[in-house]
Structure 1
Amino acid sequence: MVSQSAMAMLGIGIAALLATPFVAPSDLAQRLKSGGADADLDGSSVLPEVPGVEAFPGAEGYGRRSRGGRGGAIIPVTTLADRGPGSLRACIEAQGPRVCVFRVSGVIRFTTRRPIITNPYITIAGQTAPGGGIIVTHGGGVDGYTPIIAKDTHDVIIRHIRVRTDLNAEDRGSNSSFLFENSRNVIFDHVSGAWAQDQVMSGYDHNDNITISNSIFVQGIPRHDKCALLASNPKAPQKLSFIRNLCAHNGDRNPDVNFMPLSCVEILNNVFYNGDSQFTEVHEVFGGTPVSIVGNTYRKGPDSADAIPAIDRVLDSSTGMSKIFMADNRLDKVKVLKTGTVEISQVSRPVCPLSTRLVPAEQAYLQVLDKAGAFPRDALDVRTVAEVRARTGSIIHDAAMRSGPRPLPAIAPGTPYVDLDEDGMADSWERAHGLDPRRNDAWEDADHDRWLNLDEFLDFAHREVMAGRPIP
C-alpha cells in the first residue's frame, strides 16, 4: 500500500512517480488543482533551473540548457534583404557564438538558396524587432525550401519568429516552416508557423535535447496538412519536449512521434484543435516510442471526423511496443480518448521523469490561447486563436489558398530602440539598471545574479512584447 505522503509526491517529484501505481487522468487533474505540494509537478529535481545556464529565464523542457549565442558577437539585423551586410542570412551564416538582434520589422524573403543554421551557438531574438516583428518566408518554386532550419549543429535558440510560406514550393517534401535535423540543444520558443506543404514543424535524423514550446502551428497545405513530425529516421534515442503549443486546422500529426526505445518524449499542456482524421499519433517503426502525454486539450472542430481519436497508436511497419503514459487529457467534444491499440501499450508511470511544471489541462488551454506564438501576434495568429475559442475556422479548402499565392499578414512598422553602443541593449534600459549605455557590457553581470546583462535585457524585451509594449 502506497502511503498518502508518497502519493502527495506524485508527478515530477520523480521517485514517487516511479513508485506509485497507475494514476487516472481525473486523479492527476484533481491533484494539480489542489495546490501545495500535491500540485507541484515540477522537474527541478532532474533539471534544476540554474541562472546563466538555462537558455533564458523560464526556459523549459529538454532543450532548456541550450547555450545559444551567449558570450558571443551581437549582430544587428538592419535590412529585410535576402543577403548582404545587416541581413538575417549574414547573422545565420556567421562563425562563432552570436546573437541576432533586429533593428527592422517586416518580411524577410529568401529568394535564393535559404541559409541553414549549421554554425553552432546562435540566438535569434525576434523579440527585439520593432513594430509588428518579423515574418520569414521563401521565394517559392525551386527556391521554396524550409525557411528556418537547424542542421548538423547545436546550441540554437529561436524566439518570436514567424514563418508564413505564401508561395508553394516545387519540392513539397522540403517545405516545412521549421526543421531541426541532426542537432542537439535546440529550443524553439514563441514561434509561429503556417502554410507549410510538409509538416509545419519537422524533426529529422539524430536530434537530442530539443524543446518546442509556447508556439502556434496552423493550416498546413492539404493534402499534407500536418502539424508536427517530431522524429523521422532517428538514429539513436532522443530527448524532446513539446510544451504549451497550439496545433490548429491540421488534418493529422498533431503531433506525430516515431522515436526509438530509451527515448524521452513528452507532450505536455498543449491544445490540439480541428484535426481531421487524427490528433496525436504514436508510431513504432523504430521499435516503439516511449512518450508521456499529459494535460493536453483535444478540441473537435468543423473538419473533425466524429470518431477522431485524441491518441492513436499506429501499427503500420511496427517493430516493437510503444510505452504510452497518459493523464489529465481533456476531451472537448472529441469522443474517443484512445484507440484500442493504445490500451495494451499504456504504462502506469511516465516513461521518463517529466522535465517541467504542469498545470491542469483546462488551465493550460487558457494559457496557450493567451500566450502562445510569436508576439506581437499577427492577423493570422489572432484569427486562429479566435477560431479555437469559437469552434470555427477550417482546414484550407479554398483552391486559391492551396495553390497560392496566399496573402501575408501585414506587419506594422516601428522604431527600433536606441542602442548607441551596439551591445544589443536599449540605452533606456541600461540607464534604468545602472549600466553605461556608452560601453559594450552585454556579457557582464551587473547585479551578480548569474544572468548576464544581455540575458536580462532579452528577457525584458520578451516580457514587453508579450504585454504589447514597445521597447522605449
Structure 2
Amino acid sequence: MKKLWLINTMLAILGISACSEQTEPQANDDKIPEESLPVYPAPDRTTIPAFPGAEGAGKFTTGGAEGTVYVVTSLKDDGSEGTLRWAIEKSGKRTVVFAVGGVIALTKQLVIKNDDITIAGQTAPGAGICLKNYTLRVNANNVIIRFIRCRMGDECKTEDDSMNGYQSSYPGKKNIIIDHCSMSWSTDECASFYGNTNMTMQWCIVSESLTNSIHVKGGHGYGGLWGGSPATFHHNLLAHHSNRTPRLCGSRYSNRADMEQVDLCNNVIYNWSSEGAYGAQGGSYNIMNNYYKPGPIAASKKVHCRFFTAYVDDGANNQAAGVYGKFYLSGNYMDTRSDLSESQLAEAEAANSDNTSSTAFVVKNNEISAQNMLVAKRFDILSDYSFMQSAQDAYEDVLKYAGVSNKRDLVDTRIVNETRTGTYSREGSNGSSYGFIDTQKDAEGWDEYVEVHSSEVDSDGDGMPDIWEEQNGLNPADKSDAVKYNLSKDYTNLEIYINSLVEGLYSTLK
C-alpha cells in the first residue's frame, strides 16, 4: 500500500492521472504564428521606393500598399467579381494579384480611374497575363503596374495605344511607375505617357507597333509619345518602329515649358526608320547613356545615325511659334555595325565622338542653331542618378531583364534575339518589311497564353500562398497579415511576397 501510494503521488506531481487515458501534449491552437515575429510600425512610405529596383521620378509611388487585396480569378472582362476590371474599378488602396493566367480579351478600354493601386502581374501563373483588343489606360494618381503584357492587335478595328497615360495639362496625374511590362501590336503608339508628374517607365519592351494597319493617317507604326514633370524613362527596349522611338511631347499641349522635365537614359533603340527620336518643343531634357542600334531597314531607307532631332514649335499646337527645348546629351552610343553604308558609318562615328555634334543632334529648323538648344551641364531633374549605367552595360542588361522577363514569351524572346543579332524575321502582310509588321497575324499572335489557374492554396485570400506564409512564420488563416510589417520595416508582408517573385531582374540594384 505504501508503495502504491508513493507511485500515485509521483504521478500526481507529474500531472498524470493513473486512471485517465494517456494522450499527447496539446499544442496551443490559439497561438498565431506571427506573434513570434517582430511587429514594426508603418513607415513613411513616401521615403521608401515603390519596390526594390524602382528608380526615377516615380520612385516613391506607394500604389496600393497597406490596402485591400483583390484576387483575379477569371479572364472574363464583364466586370463581375474576380475579373481584372472588377478589381481595377474598386476604390481605396488596393493591390491586385492573380490566381489565373492567360489572355484577357478587353471589350473596351480598361481605364484606371481610382487612385492608389498596385497591379502585380508577376503573381499570375502560367505564361502570365496578356491584355488584347483595347488599351490599358492610366488615368489616376499613385499607380504601380508591373509585369503585364499589353498586346493590343487589330481584331476590334480600333485606333489606339497598347498602354497609355497622358494629360493635356500639368500637373496631370501624379506618382506613376510602369515596370517590366511588354507593349506591342498597337494601331497608334505602343506606349504613350506624358503630362504627368513624378512618372517612371522602366525595364519595359515596346515593340512591333502595327505599321500599315487601320490608322486614319495610313502608315503609323510608332513607339510612343513621352514627357512629364518630371518623368524618367530608363532601361526600356524600343524595337521595330517606323518612328517615335520616342517622340518627346514637349509643352505643345500644356504651354508649360517650365514644367516639362524629362530624363531619357539607358534605353536601347533598335531598327527605326524616318526620324526615330524627335520632338521636344519646350522643356528640359537629359538624353544620356542610351544605346542606338540601326536595324536592317537603315541602309534601304538611308536612315540617319543620330541621337535626336529637335523640333521648334510652329504655333500649330496652341503654343507660340518658336518655342524649343533645352537639351543635355552625354554618353549615348551608336552601334557601328558592318552593314552600314559609308555615310551612315561616318555619322555614327561622329556621333560617338561628340554627342553634341551637328550629326548626333539635329534641329529641324534652319533659323535656330543646335547651340541655342544644347547645354553643357546636366539638368538635375532627379536627386539621385546612381542607377545609371554606361550605354554598353545598359544594352546588355536591358536585353537580359526588360519586359515581362520573369516569364519571357515567344514575342519578347524573338525581339531580344533580333536586337542582339541585328536581324529581323517577320514581314508585314500589307507592304511593310525589314521587321515592321502590319497585323499580329504577322507575328506569333496570342495562342501561347493558355488559361492556367494557380495550384497554390491561399486559404485566407490575402494574396500570399499558404505554404509561403508558413515558411515565413505568418498565419495562413489570418487575412489581416497581408498589410502588416512583420518581415520588413519598409514593406508589408504581401509586398515582400510579390517582390520576392522577381528578385534578380534589376541589375542596377546596389
TM value normalised by structure 1 = 0.79
Equivalent in 42, 54, 59 of residue 59 of structure 1: 54
Q: Is the contact made by 2:72 and 2:98 (CA closer than 8 Å) also made in structure 1?
A: yes
Q: Is the partner of 1:431 in helix, strand or coil?
A: helix
Q: Distance in 2 between matches of 1:120 and 1:50?
A: 16
Q: Is the partner of 1:402 in helix, strand or coil?
A: coil
C-alpha displacement of 1:239: 0.8
Q: Is the partner of 1:249 in helix, strand or coil?
A: strand
Q: Is the partner of 1:462 in helix, strand or coil?
A: coil
What's the counterpart of residue 309 of structure 1? 306
Q: Is the contact made by 1:203 and 1:229 (CA closer than 8 Å) also made in structure 2?
A: yes
C-alpha displacement of 1:409: 4.9
* Cα 1:465–1:429 shift into 2, 3 Å: farther
C-alpha displacement of 1:374: 1.1
Q: Is the partner of 1:178 in helix, strand or coil?
A: strand
Alignment of 1:35-54 (within 5 A): 53-54=48-49
Q: How well do the aligned residues superpose, as a CA RMSD in angstroms?
A: 2.4
Q: Distance in 2 between matches of 1:210 and 1:134?
A: 23
Q: Distance in 2 between matches of 1:364 and 1:124?
A: 26
Alignment of 1:369-448 (within 5 A): 369-375=399-405, 376-393=407-424, 397-399=428-430, 402-403=438-439, 405=441, 407-411=445-449, 413=452, 415-440=454-479, 441-448=481-488
Q: Distance in 2 between matches of 1:244 and 1:418?
A: 35
1:281 is the counterpart of 2:281:
no
Equivalent in 227, 232, 242 of residue 233 of structure 2: 242
Q: Is the contact made by 2:275 and 2:304 (CA closer than 8 Å) also made in structure 1?
A: no
Deviations 1:77-102 (A, max 9, x none): 00101121100000011111111100
What's the counterpart of residue 358 of structure 1? 388
Q: Distance in 1 between matches of 2:455 and 2:264?
A: 37
What's the counterpart of residue 126 of structure 2? 131
Q: Is the contact made by 2:179 and 2:204 (CA closer than 8 Å) also made in structure 1?
A: yes
What's the counterpart of residue 28 of structure 1? none
1:177 is the counterpart of 2:163:
yes
C-alpha displacement of 1:212: 0.3
Alignment of 1:98-117 (within 5 A): 98-111=94-107, 113-117=108-112
Q: Is the partner of 1:365 in helix, strand or coil?
A: helix
Which amino acid letter does the alignment assign opposite residue 495 of structure 2? D
Q: Distance in 2 between matches of 1:247 and 1:409?
A: 24
What's the counterpart of residue 186 of structure 1? 176
Alignment of 1:166-315 (within 5 A): 166-172=153-159, 174-181=160-167, 182-204=172-194, 206-222=195-211, 223-231=219-227, 238-260=229-251, 261-262=257-258, 263-284=260-281, 288-304=282-298, 305-315=302-312
Q: Distance in 2 between matches of 1:185 and 1:104?
A: 28
Q: Is the contact made by 1:169 and 1:175 (CA closer than 8 Å) also made in structure 2?
A: no
Paired residues in the alignment total 400
Deviations 1:307-332 (A, max 9, x none): 24221112352532311111110110
C-alpha displacement of 1:289: 2.5
Q: Is the partner of 2:307 in helix, strand or coil?
A: strand
Q: Is the partner of 1:368 in helix, strand or coil?
A: helix
What's the counterpart of residue 322 of structure 1? 325
C-alpha displacement of 1:398: 2.4
Who wins on radius of gyration, i.e. which is larger?
2
Q: Is the partner of 1:154 in helix, strand or coil?
A: coil
Q: Distance in 1 between matches of 2:271 and 2:377?
A: 29
* Cα 1:217–1:409 shift into 2, 3 Å: farther
* Cα 1:416–1:211 shift into 2, 3 Å: farther
* Cα 1:216–1:200 shift into 2, 3 Å: same
Deviates more, 1:322-331 or 1:400-409: 400-409
Gaps of 5+ in 1: 1-48, 139-144, 232-236, 468-472
Equivalent in 133, 137, 144 of residue 149 of structure 1: 137
Q: Distance in 2 between matches of 1:218 and 1:448?
A: 37
What's the counterpart of residue 461 of structure 1? 501
C-alpha displacement of 1:449: 1.9
Q: Is the contact made by 2:309 and 2:361 (CA closer than 8 Å) also made in structure 1?
A: yes
* Cα 1:339–1:308 shift into 2, 3 Å: same
Q: Distance in 2 between matches of 1:439 and 1:347?
A: 57
Deviates more, 1:221-230 or 1:154-163: 221-230
Q: Is the contact made by 1:269 and 1:296 (CA closer than 8 Å) also made in structure 2?
A: yes
* Cα 1:292–1:392 shift into 2, 3 Å: same
Q: Is the contact made by 2:61 and 2:176 (CA closer than 8 Å) also made in structure 1?
A: yes
* Cα 1:345–1:73 shift into 2, 3 Å: same
Q: Distance in 1 between matches of 2:268 and 2:362?
A: 23
Q: Is the partner of 2:264 in helix, strand or coil?
A: strand
Q: Is the partner of 1:292 in helix, strand or coil?
A: strand
Gaps of 5+ in 2: 1-43, 212-218, 252-256, 315-320, 337-343, 352-359, 364-369, 432-436
* Cα 1:463–1:88 shift into 2, 3 Å: same
* Cα 1:274–1:437 shift into 2, 3 Å: same
Q: Distance in 2 between matches of 1:183 and 1:80?
A: 28
C-alpha displacement of 1:51: 8.6
